Amino acid sequence: MKVILAVSGTDRYYGMPKYFYLLSNHLLKLGVEVKLVIDSDKVEIVREYSDVPITCLRPLVKNSLSTMQFCLNLNKYLLKQEFDVLHTCHVLPYFYLMNKKRKPVVFQPFGNELFTLQDKGLGKVHSKLAQPILRYCGHNCDVLLAEGHFQLGEMIEYYDNENRIKYLPVAIDASLFKRSKMYAPRLFSILAVNSLTKYDGMDMLINAFRLFNKNTSSHLTIVGSGEMEDSLKKQAQGLPVLFLKNIAESLLIDLYANADVYVSTSSETDMQMGILEAMASGLPIVSIGQEYMISGNGFVVDNTPDAIKDGLISIYNSKRQELSDKSIELVKQYDFANVAKEALKIYEGLL
C-alpha cells in the first residue's frame, strides 16, 4: 500500500506536523510505503521523528494566501503521483477533492476550533475563509476522522458527514519518554507546552503561578511560541519562569522527566499532544478542559487563575505516585504503536 501524508505548518516543532511525522514512521514500520509532503525545507525537524521520504512544496504556509497557494501546488503534485490513499488535514485537500479521478482521501481536521474560536490562528478573516473550505473537505472526503466521541456532535453539525466518520485519536510515541523522578530534592517543577496565543491561556497560568509560588518553592517552564510571547515574558518578570521555544525533542523529553506536574490552560477542545506526552512521563495533570483525558491522573478546574492555583495545590499535597501511575496506564491507548494499526485498517477499508 502506498500512502501520502500531507501537512502544513512544518516550521513548528509541535502539534499537527509532529503527529504526522510520528504516524509516518510507525506506518513505515508496519510495511506501508509512505511519503510525507510538507511546506518547509526544514527536513532536520522531521528527521527527529521519521525516516520516510519527504517532498517539500512551496510556499511556507503563513496566511490565507500562502495556504491556498500550497493547496494548489499540493493538488498538482498529487495528480502526478501513484498512490493509494491520501491522509491530510486542515484545508489542504480542498482542490484535490474536486478531481473526479482522485484517490481516496482521509481528512483529519484536528478539532473544531476554527468554528468555535473565531479569532483562532491568523485571525477572524482566516477563520471565516477557512470554515466553508473545511466543510467542503469534510463533506466530500472518503473518511472524516474524529479524535473521540466527544467531538461527534460538533463534527456532524459542521461537516454533515456522520456516515463516514471514524475515530483515530491523537497519539504519541510513548516509548520515547522517560518517567518523571518526582519527589527528587529540588524545586516543585511546573511544565506547560503549547502555542502562546490568547486561546492557550498562558497569561492565566502565570497569574495562577504567582499565587501558588507565594507559599511554595517552585518554578514554571513554558515551552512554545506565538504572538503573546513578549507580553507573557513581561507579565512573568520577577517570577521564576523560564520560556523556551523550538527546542529539540531530546530536551523536551528531559523537561517532562524533570517536572512534577503538567498544566493545560488551552481553550481548545481537541486532544492536547502535550497532555499525552506528560502522561507518558507519568506526570499528574491540571487542565481547564479535556475532561476525557483526565481520570484519576489529575484535576479538571475552572478557567480562572484561582482555580488553576487550587489545582496545583491539590497536586502538591496529593499522593503524586498514584496520579503518576494512572497517567502511565491511561496513555497506553494513545500510543502510536496501537494507533498506527488503526490508521492502517482505515486505509485498507478504502481499497
Beta bridge partners, 167, equal 146
pLDDT tens-digit readout, 303-338: 999 999 999 999 999 888 999 999 999 999 999 999
**Residue 113's CATH number:** 3.40.50.2000
pLDDT tier for residue 141 given thresholds of 50, 70 and 90: very high
The pLDDT score that the predictor gives to residue 268 is 76
Q: Where in the sequence is the domain holding 138, given as residue range(s)?
A: 2-171+335-348
Q: Are residues 322 and 191 in the same domain?
A: yes
pLDDT at position 176 over 50: yes
Portion of the chain with pLDDT greater than 90, in percent:
66
Q: Which stretch of 114-118, 128-132, 143-147, 258-262 has the lowest confidence by average pLDDT?
A: 114-118
27: nearest Cα among 79, 80, 87, 78: 87
Q: Are residues 102 and 212 in the same domain?
A: no
Amino acid present at 321: Q
Contact status, residue 87 vs residue 4, Cβ threshold 8 Å: yes
Q: Are residues 163 and 37 in the same domain?
A: yes
pLDDT tens-digit readout, 274-287: 999 999 999 999 99
The pLDDT score that the predictor gives to residue 112 is 72
Q: Are residues 157 and 15 in the same domain?
A: yes
Structural domains in the chain (count): 2
Q: Are residues 179 and 77 in the same domain?
A: no
d(CA 256, CA 225) in angstroms, rounded, equals 18
Q: Are residues 202 and 286 in the same domain?
A: yes
Q: Are residues 270 and 293 in the same domain?
A: yes
Q: Which residues contact 315 (CB under 8 A, 6 or more apart)?
A: 260, 261, 284, 286, 298, 299, 323
pLDDT at position 39 over 70: yes
The pLDDT score that the predictor gives to residue 111 is 74
Q: Are residues 306 and 192 in the same domain?
A: yes
Q: Are residues 144 and 209 in the same domain?
A: no
The pLDDT score that the predictor gives to residue 27 is 97
pLDDT tier for residue 291 given thresholds of 50, 70 and 90: confident
Q: Are residues 88 and 213 in the same domain?
A: no
The pLDDT score that the predictor gives to residue 161 is 86
Cis-peptide, bond into residue 59, ω within 30° of zero: yes
pLDDT at position 178 over 70: yes
Please name the helix (run of DSSP H) or strand (run of DSSP E) that holds residue 28, with its range, or none. Answer: helix 16-29
The pLDDT score that the predictor gives to residue 254 is 94
For all residues of the chain together, what is the average pLDDT? Answer: 90
Q: Are residues 218 and 102 in the same domain?
A: no
Read off the pLDDT of each residue in 15-43 and give the average, rounded to a whole number: 91
Contact status, residue 218 vs residue 228, Cβ threshold 8 Å: no
pLDDT tier for residue 130 given thresholds of 50, 70 and 90: confident
The pLDDT score that the predictor gives to residue 122 is 47
The pLDDT score that the predictor gives to residue 125 is 64
pLDDT at position 127 over 80: no
Q: Are residues 259 and 243 in the same domain?
A: yes
The pLDDT score that the predictor gives to residue 266 is 86
